[in-house]
């Protein structure tokens, strides 16, 4: 496996795509911006709240185009649905509810083994403190261990919470609550497989309820449902519906699909100066911050207060000290 940093030394490369694990997103983006590259970075774009600040600061300092890979921002039917929300078709918006489910199996109990010959494990861990290689870590199960990942909230949350925040037109919350745990298996997973997080924005609210190990095939749950004074709008996986307060279906736009292609094309046109980014990194990190705050709430007292102006946790210095940032390997600390 090659070292991606060689790409940064190549003046013929204008942009890079980062689809590495979450703990690499911000450090790699900072390096790329400093090297003069534009960046398409997959969600969440940051491993923690401190990195969410650093990645935006780096894009600004170096004047780089940085797009976050929450591709639903570029899906035509979702753009259309948000425009209808903005036009007041369901009245004054009050709340948004997100839901997702998966049927993820157990990750088992890992064993420390020699690193496989095909894996540069030292580079794979890169900026974070070294932990011994385990046979149930690479390529995906790192998501469910706090040292490497942020659980389902940081995995699928940036997609759905971003849509809810975008549709409601809100920025940062004043209070976050999160409750859940590992219910389904006894294994190495540390992050919740079933949980619910809520966000209070003062005049609006939103929530995200997820299940990682129990696919809710019998439940017709939209990925996001918006509630207004005149009705509701439901975003589905292939379209949207609008209902009045009595539950009568007023609008049905279905049979559409969204892919990453349009979102990446928007990134390219943004570099060329022909388009406004659909998820410029500052906008994307507002949604990622919600995920980080939810994880902090779940790992501490279940609820935290937040000041949207100072962008800091209020009245819980221990939570901020312990979880706002993270420890890095010596010499790898991300800097702008």
SS3 content of the chain, % helix, strand, coil (to 5): 35, 25, 45
Say whether pLDDT at 28 is over 80: yes
Q: Give residue-wise pLDDT tens across range 131-185.
A: 999 999 999 999 999 999 999 999 999 999 999 999 999 999 999 999 999 999 9
199-219: average pLDDT: 92
Say whether pLDDT at 75 is over 50: yes
Q: Which helix (H) or strand (E) holds 99?
A: strand 93-101
67-94: average pLDDT: 97
Per the CB < 8 A criterion, the answer to whether 84 and 252 are in contact is no
User: How many CB atoms are closer than 10 A to CB 113?
Assistant: 10
Q: Distance between CA 292 and CA 135 in Å, rounded? A: 27
236-257: average pLDDT: 95
Instruction: Tokens for 87, please give them.
Output: 């036009």
Mean pLDDT in the chain? 96
Q: Distance between CA 309 and CA 239 in Å, rounded? A: 35
Q: How confident is the model at residue 1 (pLDDT cuts 50, 70, 90)?
A: very low
How much is the pLDDT for 181? Answer: 94
Per the CB < 8 A criterion, the answer to whether 44 and 158 are in contact is yes
Q: Name the nearest CA neighbour of 277 among 93, 89, 47, 56.
A: 56
How much is the pLDDT for 77? Answer: 97
Instruction: Tokens for 171, please give them.
Output: 């920025």
DSSP 254: E
**Global pTM value:** 0.96
End-to-end, the C-alpha distance of the chain in Å comes to 27
Q: Distance between CA 290 and CA 177 in Å, rounded? A: 11
């Amino acid at each position: 496996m090659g070292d991606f940093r060689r790409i940064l030394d190549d003046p013929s490369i204008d942009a890079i795509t980062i689809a590495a694990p979450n703990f690499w997103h911000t450090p790699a983006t900072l390096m790329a911006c400093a090297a003069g590259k534009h960046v398409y970075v997959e969600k969440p774009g940051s491993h923690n709240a401190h990195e969410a600040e650093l990645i935006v600061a780096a894009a600004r300092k170096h004047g780089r185009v940085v797009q976050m890979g929450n591709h639903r921002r570029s899906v035509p039917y979702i753009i259309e649905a948000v425009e209808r929300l903005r036009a007041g078709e369901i009245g004054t918006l009050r709340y948004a509810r997100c839901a997702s489910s998966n049927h993820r199996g157990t990750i088992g109990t890992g064993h420390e083994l020699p690193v496989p010959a095909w894996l540069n494990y030292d580079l794979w861990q890169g900026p974070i403190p070294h932990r011994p290689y385990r046979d149930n870590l690479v390529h995906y199960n790192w998501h469910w261990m706090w040292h490497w990942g942020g659980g389902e909230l940081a995995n699928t949350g940036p997609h759905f919470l971003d849509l809810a925040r975008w549709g409601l037109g809100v920025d940062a919350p004043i209070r976050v609550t999160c409750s859940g745990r590992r219910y389904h298996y006894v294994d190495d997973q540390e992050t919740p497989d079933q949980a619910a997080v809520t966000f209070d924005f003062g005049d609006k609210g939103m929530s995200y309820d997820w299940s990682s190990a129990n696919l809710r095939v019998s439940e017709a749950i939209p990925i996001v449902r918006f509630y207004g004074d005149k009705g509701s709008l439901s975003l589905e996986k292939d379209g949207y519906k609008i209902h009045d307060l009595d539950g009568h279906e007023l609008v049905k736009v279905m049979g559409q699909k969204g892919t990453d292609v349009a979102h990446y094309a928007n990134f390219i046109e943004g570099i060329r100066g022909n388009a406004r980014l659909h998820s410029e990194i500052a906008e994307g990190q507002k949604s990622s911050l919600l995920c980080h705050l939810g994880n902090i709430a779940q790992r501490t007292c279940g609820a935290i207060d937040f000041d949207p102006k100072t962008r800091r946790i209020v009245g819980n210095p221990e939570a901020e000290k312990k979880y706002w940032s993270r420890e890095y390997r010596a010499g790898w600390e991300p800097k702008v």
